[in-house]
Amino acid sequence: MARNLKLVAEKITREFEVKGGRITALYNVNLSAWEGEVLGVLGPNGAGKTTLIRILSTLLLPTSGSAKVMGFDVVKEPEKVREVINMASGAERSGYDFISARKNLWFFSQLYGIPGDEANKRIEELAEELSFKEYLDSKFYSLSTGYRQRVTIARAFINRPSVVFLDEPTIGLDVMTAMSIREFLKRKARDERITILLATHNMPEVEAICNRVAIIDKGRIIAEGTPEALKNTLTLCAYAIEIKPIPVNLGFLESVEGIKGYTMKADSQRGTATLQVVLEDEELLETVLFFLSKNGIRVLNTWRKEPTLEEVFVSYVGRGFGERESES
Amino acid sequence: MKPGIWLRVMKGRMMVRIWSQFGEYLWIISNIGFPLLTSLSFALLYSSVGLKSFTGFAVLGGIMVSFWGNVIWSMASQFNWDKQEGLFEIYLVSPAPMSAILIGMSLGGIIGTAPSAVLVGISGYLLFRPEFSVSSVPALILTFVLTLASIYALGMMLSSLYLAYGREAETLNEVIQEPISMLSGVYFPSTGSLSPFPVAVQVLASLIPLTVGMDALRKVLFFSGDNSSVALNEFTLLVMAVILLLLSLRILKILEEKGRRDGTLTVKIS
Amino acid sequence: MNFLRYIASSMRIGIYHDLSWTNPMLSIMLRAVYPYSSIMTSCLIFTVGSKAASKFTDVGLLYVMIGAFLYMHFASYAWVPTLAIGEGKNLFVFQYIIITKASSKFYLAGRTFSSFVVSILTATIGFILSYITMGSIVGHFPQLSLGPYSVVSIFAISLLNIPASLGLGYILASYALYASKFEWALPAYIAGMIMILSGALFPVTLLPYPVSFVAQYIPFTEFIRAARDVLLYSNMSDFLLSITTGFAGGLILLLIGYFVYEYSEEKARKVGALDRRLA
């Protein structure tokens, strides 16, 4: 079966005027997505994911570069693009409080001119698929966060869009709700050939549902490929080292040649931290342990890690998501 | 654009309003409080100076203030609230025509406010029994419809304009609500021989659709006016409604383009 | 004396909330537009009506102007606890105030005091501008008993009314603690009722019995009457009687409000309404 390219972004750059100058939110971003593909855009908060979605969904103009959705130019033909897309964000409220979920969805279907019967049928189908049928007639304000988000996701698919942009759609949701939404998205892409661009900083989510992933940092796409391919390119080795006490500063590691990057997660309750290091050579581990000990840090445990997307990110950027977010 | 989408969007937005208002009877009860008690106060004020015949002005004012309040708080500030809640961007990324959304919002607002306005009118009538002198019901209906059309068109324009603002839009709303209500003579004639204002202020007040509408409504309700005596008012209201509607769509387009350029269409920026 | 610190910091937040969205002076001027327009509307209705009935008098005009001025001032800050709770619940601030050792009653009192400061400024500006505008409309400036003594007296009235407004504020806030929606509706009704019952625009004797009897003893009625005694009739003995009665009534209202609020807070904890977002 011939595959169709549904979304193409070429050299997208976006700058914002801020007090005291300009900031570049996106720089020379190239991206493409195929029919029925779930493309993950993975990056820490502030990396430029939302800006990218806003440009592709016609809400924001790029400073330079171009993008096409279903062959329509997002800059010059926003009206045509809007016919074939939809979007949802985990941060939005996305509904009128005093009317039911069903009526909210019916209203949003009317924004696309869907005839009443067809809209009602579609609402029933989506409610069934996202398991909120019993809440369809509940007032929107009375729904829990999880059910509101199910309604929000249903809204994004109400017009049978060809391309859907989702910005952190499962943020703040419990594991079961997040899982059911992920399953739904996978089915939509697979069965209805809908292209989904999923912006997230949730790595397990990307690994669970994305066919391909583009890793973004500071407005630049730094790597792109299937999650497996990206992990396989990691010829480096990753280690997890449990240490005590929690170090204030790990700057000394930067002077060690051969360390491609590191990230640390602290467990303040236990007073320990897990340091993840990506090394060019496994023999460098000894050197890392030596430096830790030299700086008064006790090593409790060490083990080799299967590479994850986080290690991929660390190997490219030299830092983990957490550190990147606190830097920006 | 898909055929029929304009009507569907208009109906959709109208129904949201109607469902919201009628789905919560408390809305109706809540909305009556301020216009009812204010008009009662002013009717009593008229009575206190021994002018019972003017109590009808206060009751009519109460009815129209219900709609004016709806224009200010549910029309003018609506897009701004939608923007803050993340709903406005859903409109924008859809092919829905903004004119249909604005008109649907207005029609829904009028229908949703009608019960409150009727209750205010009935209560005022039962309490004060003001004297009406209606000689032409068609003139009354036409004047009423055109008044609502023009004030809701003003609401549409403000709604578009407020997109350029953040939280301060609410304060601006508060700032304009009462002066417009005062200048347009909701509770007393602000133009014509009974007006307390000097001519220059009367001319200024006549630029507000509510003034023209209230003046015409008083003529047909209390002074036996027919279509010929309010023809100028009706024509002015019609022109104002059309101009304000076109202006609101133009402002919306300009602000949308500016918003896409500057990144101000949505609240969050990352 | 920690409660003073709580009240002071809440006042500060309230002042920021009311004025800091733009230049404070501009903010004050913009906020004065509402009381100015409202006072003007009442005066204009009186002028139109009384002139048509050939009963226009300066005293009548000032009677309405003074009443409308104090009504605007009293009513505007009695709303504040309700607004503070509604906004606080939606911004997830209110529950954090509840769980601190500072009582939310002090928070609401601080917010009320800050609103009092803003309101006395804006209502006074509205009154002065209305006086000037109405003077130019009727062609002369009606005679007010203005002097340092009367200005101080009006300020005293305004201060002595605080317990009454705060007490009413607590009672309205008790409702806001439970409300899941339309928390603003009750204050709107109460504000409208006060307009009628306080004799702000017309003598309460115009109201049917027993409403007129009850209305006479509402603290707001007493304070508006006191203001007219000072500014209009120069009647100091009646003034003193009115403010004493008004203040005593205000203290009773405050006491009732305080206990109603305390009871409601406890009940709201039981039903889980304290941190429920409003629709």
> Which residues of chain B have a CB within 8 Å of the CB of C33?
174-175, 178-179
Show contacts of B164-167: CB within 8 Å, 24+ apart. B164/B255, B164/B258, B165/B80, B166/B80, B166/B267, B167/C21
In this structure, are residues A159 and A112 in contact, taking their beta carbons and an 8 Å threshold? yes
Provide mean pLDDT across the span B58-80.
89
Could you give the 3-state DSSP secondary structure of residue B188? Answer: coil
pLDDT at B270 over 50: no
Q: Which two tokens stand for residue B215?
A: 């003046």
Report for A49-58, A288-297, B80-89, B124-133: range of highest mean pLDDT? A49-58
**Using CB atoms, which chains have 3+ pairs under 8 A with C?**
A, B
CB contact under 8 A, A94 and B261: no
Q: Best interface-test mutation with A: which of B8, B91, B262 has the largest number of A CBs within 10 A?
A: B8
Q: pLDDT at position A211, please?
A: 93
Block mean pLDDT (10 aa), chain C, length 279? 82 83 84 94 94 91 95 86 85 81 86 92 95 94 87 93 94 86 81 90 90 91 94 87 94 95 88 72
Give chain C as a DSSP string. Answer: -HHHHHHHHHHHHHHHHHHTTS-HHHHHHHHHHHHHHHHHHHHHHHHHHHHHTT---HHHHHHHHHHHHHHHHHHHHHSHHHHHHHHHHHTT-HHHHHTSSS-HHHHHHHHHHHHHHHHHHHHHHHHHHHHHHHHHHHTS------SHHHHHHHHHHHHHTHHHHHHHHHHHHHHHHH-SS-TTHHHHHHHHHHHHHTTSSS-GGGSPTTHHHHHHTSHHHHHHHHHHIIIII--HHHHHHHHHHHHHHHHHHHHHHHHHHHHHHHHHHHHT-TTPPP-
Q: pLDDT at position B167, please?
A: 67
Of B16, B90, B261, the CB nearest to A94: B90
CA of A304 vs chain B CAs: smallest distance (Å): 35
Tell me which residues of chain C have a C-beta less than 8 Å from any C-beta of chain A.
Answer: 180-181, 277, 279
The tens-digit pLDDT sequence of chain A (328 residues) is 456 889 999 999 999 888 888 899 999 999 999 999 999 999 888 889 999 999 999 999 999 999 999 999 999 999 999 999 999 988 766 788 889 999 999 999 999 999 999 999 999 999 999 999 999 999 998 898 899 999 999 999 999 999 999 999 988 888 888 999 999 999 999 999 999 999 998 888 898 899 999 999 999 999 899 988 888 777 778 888 999 898 888 888 887 888 888 888 888 888 899 988 888 887 888 888 888 888 888 989 888 877 788 778 887 777 777 666 666 5
Yes or no: domain A5-225 corresponds to CATH 3.40.50.300: yes
Of B16, B86, B262, the CB nearest to A89: B86
Residue linked to tokens 């500014």: C231
Q: pLDDT at position A1, please?
A: 43
CA of B154 vs chain C CAs: smallest distance (Å): 20
CA of C18 vs chain A CAs: smallest distance (Å): 26
Q: pLDDT at position A228, please?
A: 86
CB contact under 8 A, B90 and A17: no
Q: Which two tokens stand for residue A289?
A: 């342990």
Interface residue C263 vs chain B (CB under 8 A): no
> Which residues of chain C have a CB within 8 Å of the CB of A97?
181, 279
In this structure, are residues C187 and C276 in contact, taking their beta carbons and an 8 Å threshold? no
> Which residues of chain B have a CB within 8 Å of the CB of C184?
30
CB contact under 8 A, C53 and B50: yes
The residue range of the domain holding C213 is 2-271
Q: pLDDT at position B53, please?
A: 84
> Which residues of chain C have a CB within 8 Å of the CB of A98?
181, 279
Residue-wise pLDDT tens digits, B222-264: 988 788 888 999 999 999 999 999 999 999 888 888 888 887 7
In this structure, are residues A64 and B60 in contact, taking their beta carbons and an 8 Å threshold? no
What is this model's ipTM?
0.88
Report the relative pairing of strands A212-217 and A220-225 from DSSP bridges: antiparallel
Interface residue B90 vs chain A (CB under 8 A): yes
> Which residues of chain A have a CB within 8 Å of the CB of C182?
none
Residue C108 covered by a domain: yes
Residue-wise pLDDT tens digits, B139-153: 999 999 999 999 999
CB contact under 8 A, B23 and A98: yes
Provide mean pLDDT across the span B182-190.
92
Residue-wise pLDDT tens digits, A57-87: 999 999 999 999 999 999 999 999 999 999 9
Least Cα distance to A308 among A227, A188, A249, A252 occurs for: A227
Q: pLDDT at position B268, please?
A: 41
Phi/psi at A202 (nearest 5 deg)? Answer: -95, 105
Provide mean pLDDT across the span B55-62.
93
CATH placement of domain A232-327: 3.30.70.260
Closest residue in C to B25 (Cα–Cα): C182
> Which residues of chain B have a CB within 8 Å of the CB of C44?
182, 188, 190, 196
DSSP letter assigned to residue B193: T
**Using CB atoms, which chains have 3+ pairs under 8 A with A?**
B, C
Q: Which two tokens stand for residue B180?
A: 């417009």
Least Cα distance to A239 among A202, A277, A197 occurs for: A277
Q: How many domains is chain C partitioned into structurally?
A: 1
Residue C127 covered by a domain: yes
Provide mean pLDDT across the span B26-46.
87
Reported confidence tier of residue B89, pLDDT bands at 50, 70, 90: confident
Domain limits, chain A: 5-225, 232-327
